[in-house]
Amino acid sequence: MSTRMRAFAGQLIAVLFALALGSVVILLVDESPIRVFTTLLRGAFGDINRVAGTLLQTTPILISGIAACIALRGGMFNVGVEGQLFLGGFAAALVGFAFALPPGLHVLVALVAAILAGAAWIAIPAWFRVRFNTNEVVSTILSNYVAVLLTSYFTIFLFKRPGGWSETPPILSSAYLPELFSFSRLNWGLVIGLILAFAAAWYFRNTPGGYAVSMTGSAPKFAEYGGVDVKKRGFWVLIVSGAVGGLAGGVETLGVHHRFMEGFAPGFGFDGLIAALLANGSPIATIATALFFGALRSGSLLLETDTNASREIITVIQALIILSVSAQVLLRRRGDAQAGERRWKF
């Protein structure tokens, strides 16, 4: 497993490099990087409440990250997790406030609605990809804007709760995802995310279908030659990825907000994608990277009160991580390509 170790070392170096660059930026705003980073750590893990807060932020990133992992393993990018998350969140809210069902069942039906909404939303780019060979990166990115604005429209014009805020009526308590502890809003969503991560890893490793998907991702021509229906597999991989994206939104609605509102979950879908990329498409590693981004988010709350640095510094660091991780991945790919050429050049 030396290639895996090499990939891990590469990602680690990329993150450290990004943190070093981030430190330069912090120095530029006349703050001490050490103070900023220790404040971040304290904000994320300082006491049991803060740890719970970090895990609460981690949950939607983790589930979104698994959605992105599924597509990555099939050799595709689902950049539309954000949109699927919004639609899933809205669908869950709709089921949550519009129907009265027994506890348990209500949660289940709302989550299924979220899953179906996410799957339906990615079905359009997925179909375009199979039918017209459209690049799914572009079509899924674009579908995000439509999803965010569409759910805003639903919220403001069709299902607005009486009163000032742009939000739907609250869901019935029978649709709440149960909380894990009395002192925090941390809920079963985290457990769902963890189960999902292990289930996805297990599927790719231990089932014939998962093998076919992995091979489609890592060596598409080989998979095609071996009899894998690459197009059909690709379509269903995207559908499942979108479904998990929708689930991320449903969990966020039923576990945290208990309603859908404008600006419902800003950036969780994108953070999930970055977490998945940083994890090299491994669902298990995504648990760690999602926790990292969750900690950055929750730690940043303390940043503004305790230091002179703005919370936006987190966005800067995240952006730097994206840049250095992509650079690192590209460099590694190019190295492979050169080695391959060397082998076959006569």
201 closest CA partner among 281, 268, 112, 118: 281
Residues 112, 271 contacting (CB under 8 angstroms): no
Print the SS3 string covering 189-246. HHHHHHHHHHHHHHHHHHCHHHHHHHHHHHCHHHHHHCCCCHHHHHHHHHHHHHHHHH
| From 49, 135, 173, 218, residue interacting with other proteins (rule: CB under 8 A) | 218
219 binds other proteins, rule: CB under 8 A: yes
288 binds other proteins, rule: CB under 8 A: no
Any idea what DSSP says for residue 254?
Answer: I
Q: How far is the CB of 14 from other proteins (least distance, A)?
A: 20
80 closest CA partner among 242, 231, 266, 289: 242
Q: Pattern 175-214, binding to other proteins, x per CB under 8 A?
A: ------------------------------xxxx-xxx--
157 binds other proteins, rule: CB under 8 A: no
Give the type of residue at 57. Answer: Q
| From 179, 224, 304, 306, residue interacting with other proteins (rule: CB under 8 A) | 224
Nearer to other proteins, 131 or 311 (CB): 131
105 is written with which tokens?
Answer: 């069942």
CA gap 331, 314 in Å, rounded:
26
Nearer to other proteins, 233 or 259 (CB): 233
10 binds other proteins, rule: CB under 8 A: no
Return the residue matching tokens 């006569």. 346
229 binds other proteins, rule: CB under 8 A: yes
7 binds other proteins, rule: CB under 8 A: no
| From 30, 163, 164, 221, residue interacting with other proteins (rule: CB under 8 A) | 221
Nearer to other proteins, 103 or 226 (CB): 226
Binding span for other proteins by CB under 8 A among 35-43, 60-68, 215-223, 270-278: 215-223
Give the type of residue at 26. Answer: I
163 closest CA partner among 259, 253, 255, 254: 259
| From 226, 263, 266, 335, residue interacting with other proteins (rule: CB under 8 A) | 226
225 binds other proteins, rule: CB under 8 A: yes
Q: Pattern 325-344, binding to other proteins, x per CB under 8 A?
A: ---------------x--xx
30 binds other proteins, rule: CB under 8 A: no
| From 190, 215, 296, 325, residue interacting with other proteins (rule: CB under 8 A) | 215
98 is written with which tokens?
Answer: 């519009």
Angle between helix 312-344 and helix 283-306 axes, rounded to 10 deg: 150
284 closest CA partner among 209, 198, 212: 198
Binding stretches for other proteins (CB under 8 A): 3, 205-208, 210-212, 215, 218-219, 221-229, 340, 343-346
